Structures are given as structure tokens and as C-alpha cells.
Structure 1
Amino acid sequence: MDFPALLRAVFALALTLGLIGLGAVALRRFGPDALARLTRPAKRERRLAVTESLVLDPTRRLVLVSCDGQEMLLLLGEGRVLAEGVPAPKDAA
């Protein structure tokens, strides 16, 4: 195998790996649902938002949820809601 053939093989390998890398970056950037995002209607105001979350231990977590301008504090754990309907405290400032 002479030097020009070896050089051509190395460049072909580099080009192939570069195209695979560009494809991976494009899939990460646009994702498999890129067409669905393009056809989605205009964004509207969302009613539900997770304001803050705090992990207490490996099985429990406190989540502050805002719904229609009202905040609720939820204790989640063991695959279910352990305490719900606790109103979040208002800003003391």
C-alpha cells in the first residue's frame, strides 16, 4: 500500500467520523420531535408550574407548585403524594 492510498484512507475515515459527529449533534439539537415542534400552535400561558423543589431524603421531596396564581406545597414520596393542599407561605419581605 503506497502513501497516497494510505492518506486517502485516513481522510475518508476522518470525513466519515466527522459526518457521524455532525449527525449526532443535529439529533441532539433538533431531536426526533423537531417536526412536531414546528407544527405546534403558538405558545399560550401555562397554568401549572413547579416553582421550587427540595430533596429531603432518597424517598421524599418537597415541591412548591404554582397553579392559577396560587402556590401549594406538596410532600412527595414512595410513588405518591404524602401531604397535599398545604398553602405555601406568602413572601415575608
Structure 2
Amino acid sequence: MDLDQYIRFLMALVFVVALIMVVAWVMRRVGMAGGTVRGRARQRRLSVVEALPIDAKRRLVLVRRDDREHLILLSANGDLLVDSTPAGGFDSALAGVEAAPADALRPAGSDPR
């Protein structure tokens, strides 16, 4: 092979790689990459807050949807909803208890003194 054939091959390779990069960039800008719907006005309603692997086959995942958090156990045998609470967790629950009137916190039948 002559030197000019090597140069032509190298130039064609660089052109093809650059073309692939341009197409990927355009797809990302249009929103076709990643399988997600992109939009500036759209708020995300679903997010994974935290994931904790328990062992090789099981994992706990904390998922936030709108104003609720769901604790889900994922395993090879199936998925299980462990808990579902309002978003914010312990801090928001504590704030709700502090804001409640004292009569609402007293057990039924207790002395109001």
C-alpha cells in the first residue's frame, strides 16, 4: 500500500467518527437520546432518592413521587412496597407533630390536667 492510501484511510476514519459524534450531539439536543422526555417547563415527578444494596439479589430503593416517598424492596422473586409516607421523612413528620394542638396528642381517656 502506498502512503496516500494510508492517509485517505485515516481521513475517512476521522470523518466517520466526527459524523457519529455530530449525530449523537444532535440527537441529545433534540431529546431523542436516553429515552426521557425533555422539556424546560416540565417538572420531574419521579426520582430515586437513595438505593441500598442488601445482598447480591436484593436492594432497597427510596423513590419520591410527587409529595410521597415509597420504600421498595427489589428482588429476583418480585418487588415489595415496604412503606409509603409523605415526602420529607422524619423532619416533616416532626414538624407536623409540633404544629398539632396539645389536645390532639393526648391519648383517649387520659386526664387533661
TM-score tier, shorter chain, comes to 0.5 to 0.7
- Within 1, Cα distance between the matches of 2:59 and 2:46? 18
RMSD value over aligned CA atoms?
Answer: 3.1
- Within 2, Cα distance between the matches of 1:28 and 1:79? 38
Q: Counterpart in 2 of 1:51?
A: 49
Q: Counterpart in 1 of 2:58?
A: 60
- Within 1, Cα distance between the matches of 2:26 and 2:55? 35
Q: Counterpart in 1 of 2:11?
A: 15
| Corresponding letter in the other structure for 2:48 | V
TM-score by length of 2: 0.56
| Corresponding letter in the other structure for 1:29 | W
Indicate the percent of aligned positions where both proteins have the same amino acid.
31
Q: Counterpart in 1 of 2:20?
A: 24
Change (3 A) 1:58 1:23: farther
| Corresponding letter in the other structure for 1:20 | V
Q: Which one scores higher on RCO, CA 8 angstroms, separation ≥ 6?
A: 1
Offset at residue 43 of structure 1 (A): 3.7
Q: Counterpart in 1 of 2:70?
A: 72
| Corresponding letter in the other structure for 2:83 | G
From the two aligned structures, give the one with the greater strand fraction: 1
| Corresponding letter in the other structure for 1:11 | I
Structure 1's unaligned 5+ residue stretches are none
Structure 2's unaligned 5+ residue stretches are 33-37, 95-113
Offset at residue 17 of structure 1 (A): 1.0
- Within 1, Cα distance between the matches of 2:79 and 2:3? 63
- Within 1, Cα distance between the matches of 2:70 and 2:19? 43
- Within 2, Cα distance between the matches of 1:41 and 1:68? 18
Change (3 A) 1:54 1:34: same
- Within 2, Cα distance between the matches of 1:15 and 1:81? 52
